[in-house]
A = this chain, B = another copy of it.
């Protein structure tokens, strides 16, 4: 297979998918992406199916799914055994964990704001934030 100027190389796939080129190699290594064909020079040449799969992964990552969760979703797709029931279970679990993270962050924000309220913010050498944090 000779090189062709229209070949989708790793860099091109990276740009089209919005996934870093090194990350694509990483996904291949951990077997989240299949090995593509190579041209005569050993360069990876991708097909449309790779782009679709990579975009799927990117979107899932944007929604905070872990790679293992994505692996599970992809295995349903690969085995053509997608069922609403199963997918919705995974999605629901994920929503719950997001909700917990939001709660945790809101608590942090609250505590930090309470502390900052006691603090003048002026250039004085005694800070109530530090004092509070140092109390045993």
Chain copies in the assembled complex: 2
Interchain nearest-CB distance for A33 vs B (Å): 15
Q: A84-B122, A87-B130, A136-B51 are in contact. Are A98 and B94 (CB under 8 A)?
A: no
What's the dominant secondary structure at chain A's contact region?
helix
Residues of the B chain whose Cβ atoms lie less than 8 Å from the Cβ of A91: 112, 115-116, 119, 129
Ranked nearest first, the 5 interchain pairs of A and B with the lowest CB-CB distance are A88-B121, A87-B127, A84-B127, A85-B123, A63-B108
Chosen A-B contacts, 29 in total, with CB atoms closer than 8 Å, are A51-B136, A52-B134, A52-B136, A55-B136, A56-B133, A60-B133, A62-B108, A63-B111, A63-B112, A64-B105, A73-B133, A76-B130, A77-B130, A80-B125, A83-B123, A83-B124, A83-B127, A85-B121, A87-B119, A87-B129, A87-B130, A91-B129, A94-B112, A98-B109, A98-B112, A99-B109, A101-B105, A102-B109, A105-B105
